Amino acid sequence: MSVQSPTPPPPGWGADALTSFLDLVRHQQFATYVNLRPQFDKILEVDNAFVALSTNVVDPEDLVGPFFSLQAHAAYRASASLAMSTQSSPAFTVMRQCLEQSLYGLYVNRYPDSFETWIKRTVDETSRQKMKKEFTIGNLKKR
């Protein structure tokens, strides 16, 4: 699927610091695509795996796995966008979110009752503390 960028940009685009920066980001992503093609192909390979995973989910018995997979994929794509525009530090932050979402999904798959803790995390302070205690990265990695 190809999405075409509007040409020319909308009126006022590039007239401020933010849209000028966004143009620079896109330019750098194009440069990464052209000049670092082997590295881009690895990024694409992982993205294709996420796409295949989400495309092949039809009427799942349990929505928990797809929920966390979609969150992980969104974070992965955001990380790829940042990395390709040479914003390495923010890319690592977002990649961590991808890994955490994946780990949450694995944990909930192994311990289905834990999803209730996750889903109720915003109900009250007690629920929030329960979620924070159970869903620590150290605790999830041990299991």
Question: In this predicted model, what pLDDT tens digit does every residue of 51-104 receive, in sequence order?
Answer: 998 887 777 777 787 889 999 999 999 999 999 999 999 999 999 999 999 999
Question: In this predicted model, what pLDDT tens digit does every residue of 12-29 receive, in sequence order?
Answer: 999 999 999 999 999 999
pLDDT the model gives residue 2:
61
Count of the separate structural domains present in the chain:
1
The answer to whether 130 touches 113, Cβ cutoff 8 Å, is no
Three-state DSSP class for residue 119: helix
pTM confidence score? 0.85
Residue 101 is assigned to a structural domain of this protein:
yes
Domain extent for 80: 17-110
Residue 38 is assigned to a structural domain of this protein:
yes
